[in-house]
Amino acid sequence: MSTEQLESAPQVETQGAPAADITQQATTPTPTTQRVKNPKRVAAGKATSERTRLAREQQKKDAEAYRALGENKANAATEAPEPPPTTEGESSKSSGLSANQWIANGGIGVSLLGIYYKREELKATANAAFDKIKTPKAAPAPVPEPARATQPIGLKKML
């Protein structure tokens, strides 16, 4: 402070401990060191923002063109439709399905036929098995036991 300010400032005499001035800021309002920016990051950020701006402008142009095209189609719908062009002299290059599509369809057909015939085979075996279960068996006649030989069975006989 200058001497003029000191003289014009009211002097307060205090007894005891000096009063703390609560109006002063404890830290400095501005930082003493200036923040250093990375120039590569700054350049990358600028480039990104420029690309974003250009993309946004392109989207706006595309949207306007799409709207104009829609308006043209709406106007064309009110007019009489044009007859489709005739292709009498031209040969059709696409015959419907490509070779790979024909092969895939044939494979599907063959697999369906295989499933059908396998089904028929399984039905035949299942019917045979069910027929055995359904028909009750007659009680078998008692089988007489054969007479036993009196000779002992041993190794000598087996050799």
Residue 141 included in any domain: no
Q: Could you tell me the CA-to-CA distances from 147 to 96, 150, 151, 154, 158 in Å, in that order? A: 83, 9, 12, 18, 20
Residue 92 included in any domain: no
Residue 1 included in any domain: no
Residue 155 included in any domain: no
Residue 48 included in any domain: yes
Of 33-37, 77-81, 86-90, 108-112, the least confident: 86-90
Q: How far apart are CA 42 and CA 35, in angstroms?
A: 13
Of 2-16, 51-65, 69-83, the least confident: 2-16
Residue 104, CB-side half-sphere exposure with 13 Å CA sphere? 5
Domain holding 115, by residue range, is 101-131
Predicted pLDDT of residue 51? 97
Number of domains in the chain: 2
Is a pLDDT exceeding 60 seen at residue 81?
no
**Token representation of residue 82:** 């044009």
Residue 24 included in any domain: no
Is a pLDDT exceeding 90 seen at residue 56?
yes
Residue 35 included in any domain: no
Residue 47 included in any domain: yes
> What's the pLDDT band for 31 if we cut at 50, 70, 90?
low
